[in-house]
Amino acid sequence: MNNILVVKNDKIATVTINRPKKLNALNKETIQELHKAFKSLNEDAYIKAIILTGSGQKAFVAGADISEFADFDVSQGSDLAKNGQAILFDYIENLNTPVIAAVNGFALGGGLELAMACHFRVASDNAKMGLPEVSLGVIPGYGGTQRLPQLVGKGKAMEMIMTAGMLNAQDAKNYGLVNYTVTQEELLPLCEKLATKISRNSSTAINAAIQAVNANFDTSKDGYATEIKQFGNCFGSDDFIEGTTAFLEKRKPNFI
- Please list the active-site residues: 113, 133
Q: Which is nearer to ligand COA, 134 or 241 (CB)?
A: 134
CB of 128 to ligand COA, least distance (A): 8
Q: What's at 96, amino acid-wise?
A: N
Q: Select 12 or 25, whichever has its Cβ closest to ligand COA.
A: 25
Contact set with ligand COA (CB under 6 A): 22-23, 25, 62-67, 106, 108-110, 132-133, 136
CB of 142 to ligand COA, least distance (A): 9
Task: Between 107 and 205, name the residue whose CB sits nearer to ligand COA.
Answer: 107
Taking the C-alpha atoms of residue 182 and residue 194, their distance in angstroms, rounded to an integer, is 13
Helix-strand-coil percent breakdown of the chain, rounded to 5? Answer: 50, 20, 30
CB burial of residue 111 (10 Å; 0-12, 13-18, 19+) = buried
Of 84 and 110, CB closest to ligand COA: 110
Kind and range of the H or E run holding 191: helix 184-199
Which residues, at least 6 apart from 104, have a Cβ–Cβ distance to it below 8 Å? 53, 54, 56, 57, 59, 60, 123, 124, 126, 127, 184, 187
As measured in angstroms, the least distance from the Cβ of 123 to ligand COA is: 15
Edge-first strand order for the sheet with 180-182 is 4-9, 12-17, 49-54, 99-103, 120-124, 180-182
- What does each C-alpha distance from 151 to 89, 133, 145, 174, 246 come to in angstroms? 15, 18, 11, 11, 36
The amino acid occupying position 122 is: V
Select 141 or 243, whichever has its Cβ closest to ligand COA: 141
